[in-house]
Structures are given as structure tokens and as C-alpha cells.
Structure 1
Amino acid sequence: MTSLIPMLTLLIFLPLCGSLLVFALRRSDAAVRGVALAFSLAELALCLWPLALSGEKATGAPAGFFLYQDAAWIERFGIRYTLGMDGISLVMTILTAFITLIAVLSAWQVKERAGLFFALLLALQAAVQGLFLSLDLFLFYLFWEAMLIPMLLLIGVWGSGRPVYSTIKFFIYTFVGSLLMLLAIIALYLMHGAQSGSYTFALPELVRTNIPYDIGLWLFAAFLLSFAIKFPLFPLHTWQPDAYCDAPVAGTLMLGSLLSKTAAYGLIRIAFPLFPEASRALTPLIFVVAVLGIGYFAWIAFAQRDMKRMLAYSSVSHMGFVALGIAAWSPVAVSGALLQMVNHAVTTGALFIVVGMLEQRAESRDLSSYGGTWGKIPVFSFFFLLFNMASAGVPGLNNFVSELIILVGTFRVAPLAAAIAFLGTILTLVYTVRLVQEVLFGKEKQPLELKDLSLREAGVLAVMALVVVGLGVHPGPVLELFRMPLEVLLKP
């Protein structure tokens, strides 16, 4: 069945076809929304199908992959159309489909150029899916660059505040990182070809390249800097608060929940396996950067009055735990980092949505505008409280599990880094309590006529709440999907 149906290609081109159809129907807003929703639902259903195959082994595939496609593309330069799915990429593709569906629903009321807006969302989804499935570095880089175009347009055209400034800043940072990655990929390609006589961009082949230690340090640093910019890691984060705050809600959701995860995925799938010695040498630096990010960004978040900017700094603080788990490079820590990628995407995405809903009603993101909303809009307030509790790491909700696993796994490798990171969770609790207190239970600062959630809005948040609780109570099935791929990636 899997050989007859190009499942992995469908996962990339289904949303791309949806994007083209939505753009063709752009004169009818109702048709645009309906088609975008239909393709988003179809993509999510298609992503769930491979769950039944996750224990199998695809013919001719690298170890750990249960779906695999390989075809000649640009043979003269050793470029192939190679896609693969293991447990890690399966979870990431499901996450991408789920977040895109939520983004479509959260942008339901977009009226200005709605056709182009939804077409860009689906095109961005196609690029992200392609990146998570690529096993050829040229193909990976192609999708890495393709993600940039729709994201820039979403910020620049539909953004608020200083959208042009934020777009240019985001582009400059990303372009520099992409250039570094491209140079490192070309160097790997030439080095492998000189050693083996076979010039290829295939990741399973490049892993076998004998890379001198000093050259490996430079190449790993290039990959690390490229991924660190989009992560983002301290001190390469300055584009992030502006881009997150000025993007529309759906754009912020895609940027914070998905694009940052592509960088973490690149570290796990590409950088650490390709350069094991260099990564071990620079691990102390990554630990320092991760721990600084967790504490520093949490402190900066506490100082914010703009709720969306507070969440932007909170988001990058929580991503510090992902970097911490990857740096530890042990099965427990990396599985926790992967789970945190999923949990962060859902929790932080939900928080950006609820703040967007509040801004839409009161036309303000300033904390000084709110107070006493628990008595006015109780359904909204319940979800606002729940997602903030999850972000703060309350036991029984999703962030608690993944951050605990990361800390346990890291403690075995770097006890001091784990201990300092744990102290960072206290700062998270402080600014979260402040946010909840001022918005929900504080004294009303100015009279606001607020409407509670519509059925669509409540439905979107209820689905995300179920995921938050489900992953908090029973994360075992997701962790099990990571087990076999991590055995392959982390083998000596």
C-alpha cells in the first residue's frame, strides 16, 4: 500500500494545491474559508494515517523510518527527491497540520485580502511539512527558504504596529542564518565527494563523512548559528518580539508554534548527528545560552505591560528548555525536548490566540486596560486561566511533563545547568501569576463592554485544552514514537 500511494508527497502537495485553489477563489470570502478549512482538515486526517504504520520498516529506508520515498531529481549534482518519516517526523507533521487548522479557524474573521491570506497559510504549511520530511540537505534547504516568503508577507501585509520594520528585521536575521547553512551544506557536499567519489546531499550518506575536528567545528558552528537565529537563542533573539507582536494572530501562531520548531528539529536531525565531536565540544556553550535564555527572557517578560510582548518573551524562555534538552544529548533529555516542542506549540499558541481575542474585543493589549474579566466573560476567563497554568508548569498539564523530563535528563549530564534552569521556572510562575491576577481577578481599571466567546472561538480553545490536558496526563504514546528514532540518532 505504501509503495503505491506517495503518502509523503501528498502531505506536502495537498496543502500546496489547497493554497492554489484558495488563491483562485479569492474573490469569494465564503468559498476561500470553506476550501481552506476543508484542506486543513484533510491534511490532518492524512497525517494521522501513518500512525498505523509506525512500527514497520520501509524497504530501502534508513534505520528507523517506516515511510520512505526516493527518486532522482537533479542527477548531475547528486540532488535527489528523498523523503522519510520516522516517529519524530510523524509527530511534527501531525503538529503542523493541527496548528495550521487552528490558525485557519482563528483567522476566520479576516476580511482584507482573505484569499491571499489563507493561501499563504496553506503554502507555509506545505513548506514546513516538506522540511520535516526531507532526507536530502538540498531539499531541506529549499523548504527552509520557502518558509520565509509566506511568513514575510503575512507580517508585512496584515501586521500591525511596525510591520515593515519587523519584516525587514526578520528577513535580515533569517537571510544571514540561511547563508551560513548553505555554505556549510556545500562544504559537506564537496568534502564527501572528495572522499567517496560520490557527490550527494543525502543526509544518511553525509553522516558517514570523515570530517576533521577543526573543520567540523566551523561547519557545526554555521549550522548552530543558523538554527539559533530561528530558534531563537540568546543573544540572537532581537527580531523575535517585534515579529511576534506585529504579526496577525494566525501569523504569530505559525511563527511561534511551528517555525521555531523547525530550528530545533534541524539541530536534532542534522547538526548533532553530522558533527558529534564538534557538538560535544560546543555543548557547554549551548548549556550556558539555554540557561541564560530561560532566566533572562522570563525576567524580561515580567517587566512587560503589553501582553503579546510578554508572551513573546515567555515563548523564547520556554524554548530554552528545548535547547537544554538537546544539549544534554541523552535519550531522556532529547525525548523531553521533542515533547516540549509539541507542548510549547500548543500552549503558547493558545495563549497568543486568547490574547488576540481579548485585543479584538477591547482594542488593547496593555495590562492597565483590564481587570475583573472573570466576572464578565467567564468562559474566556476559564481558558485564559487554564493555558496560563499550563505555561507555568502546573502538574497534570502538558508543560510540566516535558520540562520535568528535560530537567531529569539534563541533571544526569550537567547537574548545575539543570539546577539553574529549575530556578528559571520560578520566574515563569511569577509573571504568569501577575498576568492572571491583573486580567482576571484584579480591580477593573476602566469600564469595558466585553462579549464572551462565540461558539467557534470556544470550540477552537476547547480542542487545544483537550490536547493540553491529554499530553499532561498521558504523554506515553507520543514519547513511545520518539524512542526508536532516538536510538538511531543517539547511537555512539
Structure 2
Amino acid sequence: MSQSALVAVLALPALGAVFAALLPDRAAQLAGTAFAALAFVASVLLGFAAHTGGWFSYQPAPSGAPPIVPWTSVDVSWVPGLDLRLHFGVDGVSYPLVVLTTLLTLLCCLYTIWHVPAGGGRGGTLVALLLVVEVGMLGTFLALDLVLFFVFFEVVLLPMYAIIAGWGGDERRHAARKFALYTLFGSVLLLVGVFTVVAAAGTADLVTLTSGAATLSRTTQLAAFTLFAIAFAVKSPLWPLHTWLPDAHTQAPTVGSVLLAGVLLKMGTYGLIRVAVGVAPEGARWAAPLLGALAVAAIMVGCLVCLAQTELKRLIAYSSVGHMGFVLLGVATLTATGIQAALIGNVAHGIITGLLFFLAGAVKDRFHTGDLAVLGGLRERSPWLSGLLAFAAIASLGLPGLAGFWGEAFAVVAAFERGGGGWVTLGVLAAIGGALTAAYFLRLLRRVTHGPASPAVAAAAAPALRISGMELVAWSPLVILALLVGLVPALVLGLSNVPVQSLVEAVIR
């Protein structure tokens, strides 16, 4: 059953994309959403099926196990002449991201039933593109063959380009081109890195490569890690390779921004952990101080730019640069605490920033602006929308008890655990970045929700200020998850504990 669920997770959105592309518009939206819902159900069942007898009965691998021990896998020949295989599998590192992907895609498809942005054509086409993006993201998280990983990593490029260019804002084509060019730059380096590793090791199997069975020389590991790290830094995005992100987020339609922030960035950080660190641990040890310094630079730059922002979506976009900086700092420490912080930070950022972009889109749809100077007094005119925005902002700034706290707090703890003057300094600077995060989100709330209603807010018709039933359906799961992950972090950390410990042991050997 677990193998069937694994295949279904990938096959259902692919089938949904075909139906959504061929059916009439309204039927296409409904059919695509139904397939997205089935994919989400399959992803949940995959976890239960892989844990025989129920979720909590799973027996973890013993200490000293290889970093990747799939709960379930599918491995069939793909290109026999080149020894390439369709090797898919899921473990505690990838599974939370799989569920996050299927959930956010479902919510985005539901949202398009209620609202399709103008200018890009029919809603069915948009749903089909969302499902193709979902296939690429899921394949990236499930691939256990390095070449297969690269193929799915690239699948998301063209459909996301089309989503931004077709349904985005006034500067959408410029933003889409910038997204495509940066992504292609990273893709070239990733392809060279894949070729370097496969040629040296004689295999593309990630389980073999990360277990140490395929020995790579120090020179090969340094070269491979450099190529992988830059490629994944573009997608993450890491300063100074982040400049595509604000334009793409600001110009993308709401559903595009949600998937970009919620999942697409995680392809970079997941790749850094699973591929770069897993395949080239010696390169990871060599580059860790530089990676940590760049991560803290991203935190500080993101926070300082957010303090100067005057546009709502652009502020949230730059906040992602800072939040992902905490994730990358956790990875750079190469400690169990740091990598666990990175994994839960990935999930928390996807939940909270996905909700923030949904809310930012709702504000812009109602008042036709995202300018913080024009908005104001939202609490008086639309208390429910104002309250949800305040909840998401407070979760994003890392309030204890909400999902955003764990990743950021323990990334700082991991830097102190690593020890030494350099790492302690990075930890202190990251903590200052956390304080600045609170400052710019509180500034956002003061400008948008408090004070007398601005002319733009006061002029809005009363029916437009209410939250629709479809919006509640799309937003409620994210609100609930922000609370659940904040109160019960073991939902994520309990799954990834054993593979993270095995990865750290492999790095320090």
C-alpha cells in the first residue's frame, strides 16, 4: 500500500494537470482541485502506510544507519544504457515537505475557484500550471536518483514563469524573465555538479552516494559542494543571489506567491541538506564558515530592507530572505540542532508566509493597493481580516508557541553550540536580526491595522470587507498548522530526528 501511495502522490497531480488543460474552464478548475485534494489525501496516507500499524509505531533506524533510509521506495530502470533509474522514496526529512506541498497546492487550487486574476486567460489553465509545478516540487523531494532530482528540479521553471508572466502585476514580464534567468543560472551549475559527482562515483543513486559507499576524493567533494551550494543558494535564495525574489513575489498572482514562498524556496534548502551536504560532507565542512556568514548577511539585509519597505507584498518578500537566512544558518552549523532547526524552519516558513501572501492578496484585491502609506485603519473596517494579518505577522516574527519560533531560535542556539568566536558572533548577529524582524512586522501592523481608516480603506464597500467562505477554507488550515507546529514541534522534529543524526555522523566522520 505504501508504494501505491507513493506513486499516487506523483501521478494524481500529473493527471489533474492533463484534465485541467483539456476540460472547459469551470470544469477544469473543479477537476484540477479534486485531483489536488486526492494528492493531499495520498500524501497523508503515505505517512500512515509507511508506518505499519499507525503513525507512532514506526521504529527508527539504529544509530550508525546511512543518512537516507526510505520508509518506502519505488526503484525501476529508466535509461538502462546509462544506469539511470526511476528511484523515488520518502523519509523523515522529505515527508513534511511533501505534505506541505500537496496542502498548499490544494489551497491554491481552491482559491482559484473563487478568484482568478485578470489578464492571464482562463482559470483552468492556471490550475493546470499549478499542478505541473506541484509535480516538479514533489518529484524533487521524492527523487533518490541525482539525475532524476535534477530533472524534477527543472520542471517547475516554465510553468512558474507562465504563472508570473500570465497572471501577475503590471511588471510581470520583467519579473518572470528575471526569475527564469536566475533559475537557469543555478540550473547550469547544478547540472555540472551532478555530472561531476556521477562521473567520479559511477552512480547517481543518492542512497549510495550519501552512505559513503561511493568514495569521492577531497577535490571532487570541494568542487561538487561549491557547484551545488551556489545552485541551491539561488533557489533558497541566499544573499547576494536573492534579487530575483522580491520582483517575482511582488508581481506574481496570489497563488503564485504562495507557492513560491511556501514551497519553491524549500527546494533550495532541501537540496542543500540532502544533496550538497549529504553527497559532499568534506566540502560542507570546508565551506561552513562562509555559508554561515552569508546566511547572517541575508538575515541582516532582509531585516534592514524590510524596515524601509513601503509596499505590503514586497515587505513580505524581503522577509523571506531573512527567514531563509535562519534556515541556511542552521544548515551551516552542521550540527543536529542546526539541521533540525532548518527543517522545522522550512515547514514553518511555508505555512506562515503562505498565509501572509494569501492575506496580502486579499488586502490588495479589496483596496487595489499594497502601499502602506495608503492603507490604514483596517482594524476598524475589517476586524477579521485585520486579526488574521496580525496573527500571521506575530507568527512570522517568532512568538513562542507559534511555528516560527522553533527554527529561528534554535538556529541561533546551534551557532552558539558550534562554539568559537566566529560562530558566537554569527549567533549574536542572528539574534539581533530576530529583534529587527519583530520591529518591521510591528511597524507593518501599526501602519495597516491601527489608527483611523485611510481614504482607501474607508471608501471600500462593506460587502468587500467581509471574509468569504472560500477564503476561510483556504486560510484556516494554515492558521491551525501555525498553532499545531508551534505547540507540538515533534510533528516535524520527531520524523527527522534519526536521519538528521545519521547525516551529522556522516559529516563529522
Q: Does TM, normalized by the shorter one, top 0.5?
A: yes
> Within the alignment, does 1:21 sit opposite 2:19 as a pair?
yes
Aligned counterparts of 2:168 and 2:347: Cα–Cα separation in 1 = 26
SS in 1 for 2:78: strand
Counterpart of 2:196, as a letter, is A
Aligned counterparts of 1:261 and 1:74: Cα–Cα separation in 2 = 28
Q: Report the counterpart of residue 35 of structure 2 in structure 1.
A: 39
Residues 336-388 of structure 1, C-alpha deviations (whole Å, 9 max, x = no match): 11001000001111111101001001100101111111111111111011001
Higher mean C-alpha displacement, 61-70 vs 179-188: 61-70
Higher mean C-alpha displacement, 125-134 vs 101-110: 101-110
Q: Which runs of 5+ in 1 are unaligned?
A: 194-199
**CA offset at residue 56 of structure 1?**
5.8
CA gap of 1:276–1:62, structure 2 versus 1, over 3 A, is closer
**CA offset at residue 420 of structure 1?**
1.0
CA contact (8 A) 1:245 1:308 kept: yes
Aligned counterparts of 2:195 and 2:503: Cα–Cα separation in 1 = 23
CA contact (8 A) 1:57 1:66 kept: no
CA gap of 1:98–1:439, structure 2 versus 1, over 3 A, is same
SS in 2 for 1:70: strand
Pairs within 5 Å for 1:182-331: 182-193=191-202, 200-207=203-210, 208=212, 209-331=214-336
**CA offset at residue 90 of structure 1?**
1.2
**CA offset at residue 28 of structure 1?**
3.1
Q: Report the counterpart of residue 404 of structure 2 in structure 1.
A: 399
Aligned counterparts of 2:325 and 2:269: Cα–Cα separation in 1 = 10
**CA offset at residue 458 of structure 1?**
2.3
Aligned counterparts of 1:229 and 1:98: Cα–Cα separation in 2 = 25
**CA offset at residue 460 of structure 1?**
2.2
Pairs within 5 Å for 1:410-421: 410-413=415-418, 414-421=423-430
SS in 1 for 2:93: helix
Pairs within 5 Å for 1:169-188: 169-188=178-197
Counterpart of 1:246, as a letter, is Q
Q: Report the counterpart of residue 68 of structure 1 in structure 2.
A: 73
CA contact (8 A) 1:383 1:461 kept: no
Residues 362-415 of structure 1, C-alpha deviations (whole Å, 9 max, x = no match): 100101111111111111111011001101111211101222222222210132
SS in 2 for 1:441: coil
CA contact (8 A) 1:378 1:452 kept: no
Aligned counterparts of 2:387 and 2:17: Cα–Cα separation in 1 = 35
Counterpart of 2:72, as a letter, is L
Pairs within 5 Å for 1:329-340: 329-340=334-345
Pairs within 5 Å for 1:359-378: 359-378=364-383
> Within the alignment, does 1:11 sit opposite 2:9 as a pair?
yes
Counterpart of 2:341, as a letter, is G
Counterpart of 1:33, as a letter, is Q
Q: Report the counterpart of residue 161 of structure 1 in structure 2.
A: 170
Aligned counterparts of 1:243 and 1:172: Cα–Cα separation in 2 = 12
**CA offset at residue 63 of structure 1?**
5.1
**CA offset at residue 167 of structure 1?**
1.3
Please, what TM-score do these two structures have when normalized by structure 2?
Answer: 0.91
Match of 1:476 among 483, 490, 493: 490
**CA offset at residue 190 of structure 1?**
1.4
Residues 28-85 of structure 1, C-alpha deviations (whole Å, 9 max, x = no match): 32x1222122112111111111222242689xx9852110111111011110110111
> Within the alignment, does 1:86 sit opposite 2:91 as a pair?
yes
Aligned counterparts of 1:125 and 1:325: Cα–Cα separation in 2 = 26
**CA offset at residue 185 of structure 1?**
1.0
> Within the alignment, does 1:424 sit opposite 2:430 as a pair?
no
Matched residue count: 480
Aligned counterparts of 2:29 and 2:136: Cα–Cα separation in 1 = 20
Aligned counterparts of 2:145 and 2:42: Cα–Cα separation in 1 = 23
Aligned counterparts of 1:473 and 1:205: Cα–Cα separation in 2 = 36
CA gap of 1:57–1:296, structure 2 versus 1, over 3 A, is closer
Aligned counterparts of 1:210 and 1:464: Cα–Cα separation in 2 = 43
Counterpart of 2:29, as a letter, is R
Q: Which runs of 5+ in 2 are unaligned?
A: 52-57
Pairs within 5 Å for 1:103-118: 103-108=108-113, 109-110=115-116, 112-118=121-127
Aligned counterparts of 2:451 and 2:437: Cα–Cα separation in 1 = 19
Aligned counterparts of 2:68 and 2:155: Cα–Cα separation in 1 = 28
Residues 432-473 of structure 1, C-alpha deviations (whole Å, 9 max, x = no match): 111101111123331331512112212322221111111111
Aligned counterparts of 1:167 and 1:441: Cα–Cα separation in 2 = 34
Aligned counterparts of 2:69 and 2:141: Cα–Cα separation in 1 = 15
CA contact (8 A) 2:6 2:43 kept: no
SS in 1 for 2:240: coil
**CA offset at residue 238 of structure 1?**
0.9
**CA offset at residue 149 of structure 1?**
1.3
CA contact (8 A) 2:12 2:36 kept: no
Counterpart of 2:208, as a letter, is E
**CA offset at residue 105 of structure 1?**
2.3
Over aligned residue pairs, what C-alpha RMSD do you find? 1.6
SS in 1 for 2:260: helix
Aligned counterparts of 1:385 and 1:306: Cα–Cα separation in 2 = 17
CA contact (8 A) 1:295 1:424 kept: yes
CA contact (8 A) 2:76 2:85 kept: yes
Aligned counterparts of 1:420 and 1:250: Cα–Cα separation in 2 = 34
Counterpart of 2:268, as a letter, is A
SS in 2 for 1:87: coil
Higher mean C-alpha displacement, 402-411 vs 245-254: 402-411
